[in-house]
């Protein structure tokens, strides 16, 4: 029969092209809809079923002459309806079944499944075969919930978002058809808001819960959990499902306090920072997503500040107390303890949580003295260093983090100085005083006893210095301004003792022999660290008033006598 032949032809064509559905016709008359699926997307996660809501564009034409009778495109507004419940003509209820978003179909509807023998409203004549060219834009069901697809998640997640948290996130927003309607990336700024308090559409309030910083999700939000029947201006049409690809950048709660993670504490920590101390530290500053905003290492210079006095943000002021020199910590500071809602220009976004990885180099208090620790002291220690002494010593000078700055080992000979002559920094003078030959010390010198705020050479500004000292030699000195002193009572009278050959005059050679004899027998001492011949020559010239190459008794004047006459200070 003709009906059997039509059925055979139908199945043959169905298998020949799965993208086209041809339904039966009898004696040339359509008995059901004819569906031509001429453009089907490769991926179709969901097909239209009875009771689904759909949003689609269409052009409606007459089969007979191709004349258009209606078009949603002309109205610039997609058509929205529910499928399978009689809200559409029967032919469309059937023709939309199994359709995918972004699929294009040509649905041919016979009169008895359209407007029948009566037609409608003067637009559709009786017994008209209708052709609908349909593009499906959206599909949802009243039972739908927010669909959450996790794209990626960090391996470590110590905290997830919860209601009442404040979050910062990036997103790309599209309709279900893939048409973009908004993106935070295009504005180069995160979207910042409280979560779970009605500041977002319901679908986002639900879909953003339980996220980690750095997590990426795709959220599919049905219209009744988005902008519903009204849509959103020109961006979101009425009854549109929304797709958000989101990246969580930041999260905190207004009740949050500092989070401090101790990474490394040096052994033997006997002192910790406190308010009014001055600290030098290195840091790397990042946001919670790991992106960097600042680093002292890049500037090759520590950050230096007083703590507990309001010179840094509140969170850092608090976090920098109770640390040891050399300690490493991670500090997470919520925005209300950092730069708040305003941020800092393009440098720190508003409401940003800041993460600092810090390394304390050193700290001190402006009232700190020089700290001296004796590590070795010889048993025989009768003579110790003091002002005017000439000493020879070895040293290592380091920063408190162990960075070696200077060492006497770098030179061919040990270091020498005269104590009290202002040849070394005051703190080192202090550390070298009172030492025995062979004694070793560890000396900590705060910057106000060292090189101060400006530093010097390789010494950074405001740096605390650590010296390892050993006294190698000690020559007792003479008071400032003297070149020679008696170690007891000098010869009295002096001139006859100097006049070795008793000829009433003392030439330079005789004068030199006298002085050297006094030194060798322990009765006198020359200024150490200066050439003895030069000193004795200067002493002779000072006494040889008439410059005739010899000293007479009339020319000889003791320094103590000269002091009362405000004479030169470099005479005998």
Write out the DSSP string of 427-452.
HHHHHHTTPPTT-EEEEEE-GGGTTT
For domain 147-252, the CATH class is alpha beta
Q: What is the pLDDT of residue 572?
A: 55
- The pLDDT tens digits for 496-508 are 888 889 898 889 8
Residue of 56, 169, 227, 484 marked active site: 227
Q: Does domain 484-571 have CATH number 1.10.238.10?
A: yes
pLDDT at residue 91 greater than cutoff 50: yes
**227 is annotated as an active-site residue:** yes
Select the CATH number that applies to the domain covering 371-475 from these four: 3.50.50.60, 3.30.479.30, 3.30.360.10, 3.10.50.40.
3.10.50.40
Confidence of residue 475 (pLDDT cuts 50, 70, 90): confident
Contact (CB, 8 A) for 425 and 446: no
Q: What is the pLDDT of residue 477?
A: 78
Q: What is the pLDDT of residue 1?
A: 41
Residue of 58, 132, 171, 540 marked active site: 171
Taken as a whole, the chain contains a residue count of 572
Residue 366 has which token pair? 């402006």
Contact (CB, 8 A) for 417 and 394: no
**181 is annotated as an active-site residue:** yes
Contacts of 379 (CB under 8 A, 6+ apart): none
CATH code for the part of the protein at 267-360:
3.10.50.40
Stretch among 311-325, 439-453, 530-544 having the lowest mean pLDDT:
530-544
Q: What is the pLDDT of residue 152?
A: 96
Which candidate, 187, 226, 189, 188, places its Cα nearest to that of 206?
226
Residue 410 CB neighbours (<10 A)? 8
Q: What is the pLDDT of residue 561?
A: 52
pLDDT at residue 275 greater than cutoff 70: yes
Confidence of residue 559 (pLDDT cuts 50, 70, 90): low
Q: What is the pLDDT of residue 35?
A: 97
Stretch among 112-121, 225-234, 533-542 having the lowest mean pLDDT:
533-542
Confidence of residue 313 (pLDDT cuts 50, 70, 90): very high
DSSP states of 14-66 as a string? HHH-TTEE---EETTEESS-EEEEEE--S--S----TT-EEEEEEEEEETTT-
Which candidate, 221, 222, 240, places its Cα nearest to that of 231?
240
**244 is annotated as an active-site residue:** yes
Q: What is the pLDDT of residue 353?
A: 97
Q: What is the mean pLDDT of residues 161-165?
A: 96
Q: What is the mean pLDDT of residues 535-559?
A: 83
Q: What is the mean pLDDT of residues 186-191?
A: 94
**182 is annotated as an active-site residue:** yes
Q: What is the pLDDT of residue 23?
A: 45
Q: Which of 14-23, 122-131, 547-556, 563-572 has the highest mean pLDDT?
A: 122-131
**For residues 567 and 323, which has the higher predicted lDDT (pLDDT)?**
323
Which candidate, 58, 69, 64, 37, places its Cα nearest to that of 129?
64
β-pairing, 390-399 vs 550-551, is unpaired
Residue of 56, 244, 283, 339 marked active site: 244
Residue of 56, 181, 390, 540 marked active site: 181
Residue with tokens 């006459």: 565
Q: What is the pLDDT of residue 233?
A: 92
CATH topology of domain 34-140: Chitinase A; domain 3 (3.10.50)
Find how far residue 268's CA is from the centre of its chain. 29
Give first-to-last CA distance, the chain, whole Å: 148
Q: What is the pLDDT of residue 484?
A: 83
Residue of 22, 139, 167, 201 marked active site: 201
Q: What is the pLDDT of residue 5?
A: 39
Residue 33 has which token pair? 């809809």
Confidence of residue 282 (pLDDT cuts 50, 70, 90): very high
What mean pLDDT is reported for the chain? 89
Confidence of residue 281 (pLDDT cuts 50, 70, 90): very high
Percent above pLDDT 70 for the chain? 92
Stretch among 3-12, 66-75, 213-222 having the lowest mean pLDDT:
3-12
Confidence of residue 482 (pLDDT cuts 50, 70, 90): confident
Q: What is the mean pLDDT of residues 413-430?
A: 90
Instruction: Name the residue ranges covered by the structural domains of the chain.
Output: 34-140, 147-252, 267-360, 371-475, 484-571
Which long-range contacts (C-beta less than 8 Å, at least 24 apart) are formed by 188-194? Answer: 189/349, 190/249, 190/250, 190/349, 192/166, 192/167, 192/168, 192/350, 192/351, 193/166, 193/167, 194/164, 194/165, 194/166, 194/167
Return d(Cα 164, Cα 208) in angstroms, integer: 12
Q: What is the mean pLDDT of residues 261-285?
A: 95
Return d(Cα 133, Cα 104) in angstroms, integer: 7
Residue 142 CB neighbours (<10 A)? 10
Residue of 182, 357, 401, 570 marked active site: 182
pLDDT at residue 11 greater than cutoff 60: no
pLDDT at residue 86 greater than cutoff 80: yes
**171 is annotated as an active-site residue:** yes
Q: Do domains 147-252 and 484-571 have the same CATH topology?
A: no
Stretch among 31-45, 355-369, 408-422 having the lowest mean pLDDT:
408-422
Return d(Cα 219, Cα 203) in angstroms, integer: 8
Q: What is the pLDDT of residue 18?
A: 37
């Amino acid at each position: 029969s003709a009906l059997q032949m039509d059925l055979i032809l139908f199945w043959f064509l169905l298998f020949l092209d799965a993208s086209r559905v041809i339904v039966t016709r009898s004696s040339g008359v359509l008995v059901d809809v004819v569906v031509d699926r001429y453009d089907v997307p490769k991926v179709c996660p969901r097909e239209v079923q009875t009771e689904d809501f759909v949003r689609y564009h269409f052009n409606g034409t007459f089969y007979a002459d191709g004349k258009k009778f209606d078009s949603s495109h002309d109205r610039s507004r997609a058509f929205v309806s529910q499928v399978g419940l009689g809200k559409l003509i029967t032919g469309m209820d059937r023709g939309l079944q199994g359709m995918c978003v972004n699929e294009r179909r040509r649905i041919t509807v016979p009169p008895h499944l359209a407007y029948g023998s009566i037609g409608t409203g003067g637009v559709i004549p009786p017994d008209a075969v209708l052709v609908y060219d349909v593009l499906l834009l959206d599909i949802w069901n009243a039972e739908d919930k927010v669909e959450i697809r996790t794209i990626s998640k960090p391996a470590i997640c110590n905290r997830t978002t919860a209601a009442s948290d404040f979050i910062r996130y990036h997103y790309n927003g599209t309709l279900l058809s893939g048409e973009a309607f908004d993106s935070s990336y295009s504005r180069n700024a995160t979207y910042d808001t409280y979560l779970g308090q009605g500041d977002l559409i319901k679908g986002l309030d639900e879909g953003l819960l339980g996220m980690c910083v750095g997590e990426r999700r795709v959220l599919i939000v049905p219209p009744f959990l988005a902008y519903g029947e009204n849509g959103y201006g020109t961006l979101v049409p009425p009854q549109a499902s929304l797709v958000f690809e989101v990246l969580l950048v930041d999260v905190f709660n207004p009740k949050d306090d500092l989070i401090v993670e101790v990474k490394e504490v040096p052994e033997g920590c006997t002192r910790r920072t406190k308010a009014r101390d001055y600290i030098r530290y290195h840091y790397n500053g990042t946001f919670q997503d790991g992106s960097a905003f600042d680093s002292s290492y890049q500037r090759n210079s520590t950050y230096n500040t007083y703590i507990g006095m309001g010179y840094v943000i509140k969170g850092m002021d608090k976090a920098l107390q109770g640390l040891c020199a050399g300690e490493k910590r991670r500090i997470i500071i919520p925005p209300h303890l950092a730069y708040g809602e305003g941020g800092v220009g393009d440098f720190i976004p508003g409401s940003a949580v800041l993460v600092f990885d810090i390394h304390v180099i050193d700290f001190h208090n402006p009232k700190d003295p020089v700290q001296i620790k004796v590590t070795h002291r010889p048993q025989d220690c009768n003579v110790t260093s003091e002002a005017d002494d000439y000493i020879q010593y070895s040293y290592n000078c380091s920063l408190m983090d162990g960075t070696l700055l200077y060492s006497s080992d770098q030179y061919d000979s040990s270091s020498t100085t005269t104590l009290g002559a202002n040849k070394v920094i005051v703190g080192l003078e202090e550390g070298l005083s009172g030492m025995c030959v062979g004694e070793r010390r560890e000396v900590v010198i705060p910057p106000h006893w060292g090189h101060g705020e400006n530093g010097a050479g390789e010494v950074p500004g405001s740096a605390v210095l650590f010296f390892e000292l050993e006294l190698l030699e000690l020559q007792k000195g003479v008071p400032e301004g003297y070149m020679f002193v008696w170690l007891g009572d000098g010869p009295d009278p002096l001139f006859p003792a100097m006049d070795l050959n008793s000829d009433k005059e003392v030439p330079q050679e005789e004068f030199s022999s006298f002085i050297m004899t006094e030194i060798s027998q322990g009765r006198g001492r020359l200024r150490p660290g200066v050439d003895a011949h030069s000193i004795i020559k200067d002493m002779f010239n000072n006494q040889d008033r008439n410059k005739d190459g010899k000293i007479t008794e009339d020319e000889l004047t003791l320094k103590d006598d000269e002091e009362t006459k405000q004479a030169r200070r470099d005479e005998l």
